[in-house]
Amino acid sequence: MLHGLAAPVNPCPGNGLAGAGRIGALSGECRLTTHRCLDGLWTITAQFSGTEGRGTATMPKNVKDPADHVFVGRQPIYDARLRVIGYELLYRSDSGNRADARDNAATCQTIFNAFIEIGLNRLVGDKPAFINLTRELLSEMHGFSPPTGRVVLEVLEDVTVDESLVQAVRDLKGRGYRIALDDFVYQPKHKSLLRLADIVKIEVLGKPRSEIREEVMFLRRRVPKLLAEKVETHSDFQYCKNLGFDYFQGFFFCKPKVLKARAVPADKLALLQLLSKLRDPNVRLEELEQIIMRDVALSYKLLRCINSAFYGLPKKIDSLRQAILFLGMRSILGWVSLVALSGITGKPSELFVTAMVRAKMCELLARDTRKKQPEVYFTTGLLSVLDALMDMPMENLLESLPLSDEVNKVLLGRDEDSDLADLLRCVLAYERGDWDRVAESGIEGKTVQHAYVEAVDWAAQTSDALRSAGRRPRAKRQVA
């Protein structure tokens, strides 16, 4: 079941007074001690243990009042086979200031949000987190010791490179941390820093391909891994892959490979027909049961999902009718849609995860802001990647689905004014780390982040349930 976010620690007010509290978002336990300095800034010490690691972390006086809020998101990083190998953490303060990765206070609060308040496992699962660090924090990492296998430390492109910085990075490297150089453009003064790098990130958006090729040829033998960032099209992904990049970051995977008006393939037409019947507002329980029963694999996976640990039912559900009665018509429609879409092959699994995060975040924000029919918001978020899943124009696909005019317009990007359009824009902006757009939604920052983290959590649990449901149970051994 879903777990709510841990309550923030409320330190004792007043100069020079300390406060302490426990937070249970980690898989283990954490104790925070906060101390307000005379200049109004805070130092925070955390002692934590659990699957995220064990140790003590003391953040410098860059941290503002811990009650201040920082948006924290993530962006997947892929290998050449489109498997997720890590996530870069995206963050910014939701206060009036534009705080970003170059802001020490935002960076400190992000690290604490990720490791302490939210829990790193909830944000990135078992994958490493790529964290941007300012020059000052690179030099002060002696106070923070996250497990070396859980983070990759990124040196930003605008950090002044001198012997002091190189020594700080060398010390971190010596402690076992992996080092990435962000948006790297080589200069002779970078020679010592380059020797310490495990990953070099090259921004490819808007850059001539000849220039990208020259950079790759120069760096290929000098660093273990190359990462192409801001890869926005499948064409760019394929080009970078052919050049020999190891990792890829960008939103190309959320876009269809081919945008040509063509007939829907037979296997995908069956899926669209199923989704169409599920979205019929007049469908009755008996009809829904018959629709699902026609697809044996779908029926099997659905029953396995409902009987999984995700629901933790005291009694096994043996029939589709029981499942429908237990979940209710609206919930079963969402589950059947999820199970059906998860059966699409030839796409990175993260694309389906993205669909689930969008769907759940839309639904949660709709509930938080008291919108009518939150299930419609869920459906809109889920279907927002349909063109990428099917590799067809959205307009062609929507012709086969009996969705409302409002939902159709939102999915086609033709609705600028409705609540549904505004909320989906907020969700997509958060996904991309476009914090100004998030703020324009008018929804409180903490509400948006809580919905995001809960949606990521739900998507991870749902993915596990769907994977488990797709595996055939092992035959029991007979004892002679």
Residue 67 shares a structural domain with residue 165? yes
Task: Pick the last residue of a domain from 197, 222, 237.
Answer: 197
Residue 275 shares a structural domain with residue 405? yes
- Please enumerate in sequence order all residues whose Cβ is within 8 A of that of 293, keeping only pairs 6 or more positions apart, or say none: 299, 320
Residue 63 shares a structural domain with residue 182? yes
Instruction: Give the Cβ contact number of residue 408 at 10 Å.
Output: 19
What backbone torsions phi and psi does residue 425 show, to the nearest 5 degrees?
-60, -40
> CATH no. for residue 121?
3.20.20
Task: Pick the last residue of a domain from 197, 232, 257.
Answer: 197
Residue 287 lies in a domain: yes
> CATH no. for residue 313?
1.10.3210.10
- State the total domains in the chain: 2
Per-residue pLDDT in tens (0 to 9) along the chain, 480 residues: 333 223 333 333 333 323 333 333 334 444 444 444 444 444 444 444 444 444 444 444 444 444 345 678 899 999 999 999 999 988 776 554 444 545 565 566 666 666 666 778 888 989 999 998 878 777 776 656 778 888 999 998 888 889 999 999 999 999 999 999 998 888 888 899 999 999 999 999 999 999 999 999 999 999 999 999 999 999 999 999 999 999 999 999 888 876 555 556 666 666 777 777 776 767 777 877 887 777 777 787 778 877 777 667 777 888 888 887 877 777 777 777 887 787 787 888 899 999 999 999 999 999 999 999 898 899 899 999 999 988 888 988 888 787 889 999 999 999 878 999 999 999 999 999 999 899 999 999 889 999 999 999 999 988 887 777 665 544 444 444
Residue 43 lies in a domain: yes
Task: Pick the last residue of a domain from 172, 197, 222.
Answer: 197
Residue 48 shares a structural domain with residue 152? yes
Residue 172 shares a structural domain with residue 51? yes
Residue 135 shares a structural domain with residue 284? no
Domain encompassing residue 85: 18-197
Residue 442 lies in a domain: yes
**CA proximity to 200, closest of 138, 218, 210, 188:** 218
Residue 274 shares a structural domain with residue 361? yes
What backbone torsions phi and psi does residue 201 show, to the nearest 5 degrees?
-100, 130
The model's pTM is 0.77
Residue 307 shares a structural domain with residue 437? yes
Residue 298 shares a structural domain with residue 416? yes
Instruction: Give the Cβ contact number of residue 4 at 10 Å.
Output: 10
Residue 185 shares a structural domain with residue 274? no
Residue 379 lies in a domain: yes
Integer Cα distance of 117 and 181 in angstroms? 28
Contact predicate 288/332, CB 8 Å: yes
Residue 204 lies in a domain: no
Residue 243 lies in a domain: no
Residue 228 lies in a domain: no
3-state class (DSSP) for residue 316: coil
